Structures are given as structure tokens and as C-alpha cells.
Amino acid sequence: MAGSHQMEKIIDENIDFASTIVVHDDAFPDEKAPAYADHRIDRLLIPAKIIRKRTRVLAKQICSDYRQSGILHAVVLLKGAFVFAADLGREIYKCGGPELQYDFLKPVTYGTAIKSGGESQRKVRIDYALEDLNSDHVLVIEDIVDQAFTLSTVQRYLQEEKQVASVKFCVLLEKMLSHPTPEVQQLREGLTLDYVGFRIPDRWVAGFGIDAGEDFRHLPDIVTVNEEYYRK
């Protein structure tokens, strides 16, 4: 187990916070193993302080890209993005704008289930329809892009039904898929992710707003979960 001093060193010497951080399974020594001695959790994947540092950089990029745009409409996808969206908004404020207005959409993709192998499509239902978005610049804030069913549905909804002026996507985690079906691969390739925090392995994760069967949204860190347990 690495001490916190050693962890600081690993962080400062090995991570380039300026671009999307690629996280492998054992990227960070499990400094908090005792706290996560829980049969539902596999291991620590991304410690809170790494998420914080990367969020700050994403916020700075957004501040710079939207400097001239007036109000930016942040559309947060519930439930998983609520923690990330709160932190990101405050960092955007700290770096001097743009002015944010928050709205919330609830696309239901997996419910309390987790994905299984070989999926080619999934119906995504959008709850909480938005009202007056027309002609606004929209930044969609999402926790994870996995098979891209959710974001491609949201993109279509905003562009075709709401006809917003522009849509960009800010996602905390992008999964590196192991065995995507051709349909999923095509969906993923058709989606432009403008701001991505981390690229992660194709594992079910939780924490920092993200759930496994509604567990663990309040964890400060992001962990991988025991998938066998959640498949039951």
C-alpha cells in the first residue's frame, strides 16, 4: 500500500493533467484499501484528488472556449452526473465564466441493471423534458459514456427536437470498450466528445455520483465494483 507522500509523488511525476488521462486497472495503488473492504467493491480506480485536479483543467478549457458566448446552458444528465456537474460549475465560476444556467435531463438506459455482452441497441427513455432551450448554447454534462446509447439519444433530442444553437459534451469518464458490437462501435465513432476527464477500462464503476445498483453514489473516489455481485 502506498503512503500519501508516495501517492503525491506518483501523481505529480506521472500524470499529465492537461489532456484526457488514461487509467488502467492498477493505475493507483490502493491507498484506501481498508476503507473499501466491502465485498461489493473490487478496487479503487481513481482517487478523489485526481478527479479534482482534472476537473479544474476541464473547467479552464470550457472557460476559454466559451469566453465570448454569454450564457451557457449546462444540461446535466441525472442521476450520475450530479456530483461532477456541481464541482465543474464551481471550477468554471472560479476561472471567470461563462455564466452558467443548469438544467437536468434524466435519460433511463440501464435502470438498476448493468450491461451484458454483445448489445447492439438499447432503448433510452428521456424523463424531465426541457422547456426553453431554443437558440441556447448547450453543454451536456455526463458521468460516463459507455456504449453511447444515452448520449446519442440526448444529442438527437437536443438538436432535432429542441434545435439548440450548439451542443458540446463534457464527460467525466469514457470507457475503452473491449468487445463492442459493430452497431455500438458506429455509435461511439459518430459521437464527438469535446471534454473528457478520463479514459477507463471496460469495467462497471461507481462513486463520485455514479452508482452500481444505486449503491455508492456518495463515495468520494471512483471504484470498480464486483460485477458478479451486481449481475445477480
Distance CA 189, CA 215 (A): 31
Q: Note if 211 is an active site residue.
A: no
- DSSP one-letter code for 20: P
Among 28, 169, 198, 204, interactor with ligand IMP by CB under 6 A: 204
Binding residue for ligand IMP, selected from 59, 150, 170, 180, defined by CB under 6 A:
150
In the complex, least distance from residue 223 CB atom to ligand IMP, rounded to whole angstroms? 10
Report the relative pairing of strands 99-108 and 71-77 from DSSP bridges: parallel
Cα distance between residue 7 and residue 30, in whole Å: 10
Q: Name the DSSP letter for residue 132.
A: S
Find where cell 455520483 sits. Answer: 209
Among 47, 80, 98, 213, binds Mg ion (CB under 5 A): 80
Least separation in angstroms between residue 47's CB and ligand IMP is 17
CB of 133 to ligand IMP, least distance (A): 20
CA distance 211 to 113: 10
Nearer to Mg ion, 80 or 213 (CB): 80
Asked if 27 and 5 count as a contact pair (C-beta separation under 8 A), the reply is no
Nearest position to Mg ion, beta carbon: 80
- Bridge-based pairing state of the strands 166-175 and 195-200: parallel
Q: Give yes or no for a contact between 177 and 146, defined as CB atoms under 8 angstroms apart.
A: yes
The reply to whether 47 sits near Mg ion by the rule CB under 5 A is no
Q: Out of 42, 87, 143, 146, which one is annotated catalytic? A: 146
Q: What is the DSSP letter of 172?
A: E
Among the residue ranges 10-18, 34-42, 78-86, 124-132, the one whose residues contact Mg ion (CB under 5 A): 78-86
The listed partner (ligand IMP, Mg ion, none) that binds 147, CB under 5 to 8 Å by sort, is ligand IMP
205 binds, among Mg ion, ligand IMP, none (CB under 5 to 8 A by kind): ligand IMP
Residues in the chain: 232
Positions that interact with ligand IMP (CB under 6 A): 77, 80, 109-110, 142-150, 204-206, 210-211
Positions that interact with Mg ion (CB under 5 A): 80
Q: Which residues are catalytic?
A: 146
